Amino acid sequence: MNRSISRNAIKKISDYLYEIPASFREDMKVPARIFVSEKMLEKALSDNSLWQLVNVATLPGIQKYALAMADIHQGYGFPIGGIAAVDIANEGAISPGGIGYDINCGIRLLASNNFFEEVKPKIKDVAFSIFNAVPSGTGKGGAISLKTKELEKVLQKGARYLLEKGYGIKSDIEFCEEKGAFENVDFTQVSSKAKKRGQEQIGTLGSGNHFLEIQIVDEIFDEKAAAILGLEKNQVTIMIHCGSRGLGHQVCTDYVHEILSKQDEWGYNLVDRQLACAPFNSIEGQNYLQAMKAAANFAWANRHMITHRVREVWQSVFGPDCKISTVYDVSHNIGKCEFYEIDGKRKELFVHRKGATRAFGPNHKDIPLEYRPIGQPVLIPGDMGTASYVLLGTQKSIDESFGSICHGAGRAMSRTKAKKQTKGFLLRQELEEKGITVCCNSDRGLAEEAPIAYKNIDEVINVVTGAKLAKKVARLKPIAVIKGD
């Protein structure tokens, strides 16, 4: 099978948009489009990610385009940094690979009411206290332990259940996508094996690229919007990047297995088995949807509990009057039912976002009232030790990319390659020399996430803002990195 795609097959539409026409391969139902610069397109051609994007264009019921952003790289079946929307009423298919193994992996940004000068002298103290209060690393649990019935409440009510139990504050929920939970979720679609894996993992960070950073607001691009989001220059923020841990992973594993066994039954003959999908309206499709929603609720509860722990630590270090508030929480691995205009008709689509962040423009009803005039905050982490961005979604993103943009810098090399090319202890030293406190038990874990293993975040951001899918509000710079091994 030829998986390489030649540059000649790709048509330039504008400086930030390229297209592989639907005529490129006979099984494509729609064109594949990638929001990218010429320079970054070269990177995308170096792995199988564009072949995967072409495969996505064959998905039953896919509408308009198979889309990818500049942070595209190879994933399970679907590329990471990709978006696919299918018509629910007209043979649309739901695919676990289009959402990813880490269901509702996402970013939460917290704002403290402290400034850099106040935090600087105590940075090691506060960073290591958070490192101790938020368990991290592969397979790690131990923040709290939930009984089966309690875990089931988390699956049904997400972060809202934890708020009822006395963890966190009401505004944490109000400034979270979906207000911290999908409603009316049938949690019985989550296997007992998945539930068991989740019981010890609420309030834990995980490993890989998951992290918690203490940051300062380094630059403001839009003073008015920043004020509405409660951000000022030199203010200290905390960014949490994690997902649904072993529970979400098990949900994906369970349903990929089930759905794979029925491809023939549904008359699907997909070019890559990793694209395995189910008719959206089939029993299996609906069961996966429910399990996916339950796992998403688990992830929101997870970030909510971490927020609670950070707040406790912050107040113990800087005093009880210090405030930690949730600026926003947004997923970048999720599937959602949303309405879009297709050929002049309003249609309900199921939008797969895999390593892609929702970026709704102003006045959308799903944005908190306070933010509605400016648009939805979009939180984009950079690679370790560089910078992260706060952006706002635009109407153009709704019109051109199903209300979505990128999710981060995107990997430029595999974890194994990164480990070979990097000395973890040197990287630790470099970060410390840049004034960044590093809380990580293993140098190997650091090496996997080395900046050279990632694309340049500024370039990725320039593409989405250049294409006017989002607007810049602020740039955040890390002063402490907390991560698992």
Partner DNA sequence: ATGTCC
Interacting span for DNA (CB under 7 A) from 14-22, 189-197, 367-375, 422-430: 189-197
Interacting span for DNA (CB under 7 A) from 39-47, 155-163, 243-251, 367-375: 243-251
Taking the complex as a whole, how short is the minimal distance between the CB of residue 10 and DNA, in angstroms? 26
Task: Give the one residue of 125, 430, 443, 485 binding DNA; rule: CB under 7 A.
Answer: 485
Give yes or no for a contact between 275 and 53, defined as CB atoms under 8 angstroms apart: no
Position 452, amino acid: I
Taking the complex as a whole, how short is the minimal distance between the CB of residue 340 and DNA, in angstroms? 29
Task: Give the one residue of 207, 397, 437, 456 binding DNA; rule: CB under 7 A.
Answer: 207
Site string for DNA, 398-427 (x = CB under 7 A): -----------------x------------
Structure tokens at 324: 């930690």
What residues are labeled active site? 407
Footprint on residues 11-40 left by DNA (CB under 7 A): none
Q: Does 233 bind DNA (CB under 7 A)?
A: no
Q: Does 479 bind DNA (CB under 7 A)?
A: no
Position 318, amino acid: F
- Residue 85 three-state SS: strand
Distance CA 401, CA 83 (A): 8
Distance CA 329, CA 485 (A): 24
Q: Does 102 bind DNA (CB under 7 A)?
A: yes
Q: Which of 91, 89, 68 is nearest to 79 (CA)?
A: 68
Task: Give the one residue of 31, 60, 246, 478 binding DNA; rule: CB under 7 A.
Answer: 246
Q: Does 135 bind DNA (CB under 7 A)?
A: no
Smaller CB separation from DNA, 250 or 401: 250
Distance CA 237, CA 215 (A): 5
Structure tokens at 146: 């939930």
Smaller CB separation from DNA, 232 or 485: 485
Taking the complex as a whole, how short is the minimal distance between the CB of residue 440 and DNA, in angstroms? 13
Structure tokens at 76: 């399970």
Structure tokens at 406: 């990128």
Distance CA 19, CA 65 (A): 9
Give yes or no for a contact between 57 and 30, defined as CB atoms under 8 angstroms apart: yes
Q: Does 243 bind DNA (CB under 7 A)?
A: yes
**112 Cβ contact list (under 8 Å, min separation 6):** 119, 235, 236, 237, 238, 314, 318, 322, 323, 324
Q: In the beta sheet, which residues pair with residue 239?
A: 109, 213
Q: Does 249 bind DNA (CB under 7 A)?
A: yes
Taking the complex as a whole, how short is the minimal distance between the CB of residue 71 and DNA, in angstroms? 12
* Dihedral angle computed from the Cα positions of residues 343, 344, 348 and 353, in that order, rounded to the nearest 10 degrees: 50
Q: Does 52 bind DNA (CB under 7 A)?
A: no
Task: Give the one residue of 108, 153, 157, 197 binding DNA; rule: CB under 7 A.
Answer: 197
Position 221, amino acid: F
Q: Does 103 bind DNA (CB under 7 A)?
A: no
Task: Give the one residue of 210, 311, 471, 477 binding DNA; rule: CB under 7 A.
Answer: 210
Phi, psi of 228 (to 5 degrees): -65, -35
Smaller CB separation from DNA, 46 or 138: 138
CA terminus-to-terminus distance, the chain: 36
Q: Does 385 bind DNA (CB under 7 A)?
A: no
Q: Does 138 bind DNA (CB under 7 A)?
A: yes
Smaller CB separation from DNA, 245 or 477: 245
Residues in the chain: 485
Q: Does 206 bind DNA (CB under 7 A)?
A: yes
Taking the complex as a whole, how short is the minimal distance between the CB of residue 91 and DNA, in angstroms? 29
Q: Does 353 bind DNA (CB under 7 A)?
A: no
Distance CA 100, CA 29 (A): 22
Q: Does 331 bind DNA (CB under 7 A)?
A: no
Distance CA 43, CA 154 (A): 40
Smaller CB separation from DNA, 245 or 308: 245
Q: Does 97 bind DNA (CB under 7 A)?
A: no
Binding site for DNA (CB under 7 A): 76, 101-102, 105, 138-139, 193, 196-197, 201, 206-210, 242-243, 245-246, 249-250, 415, 449, 484-485
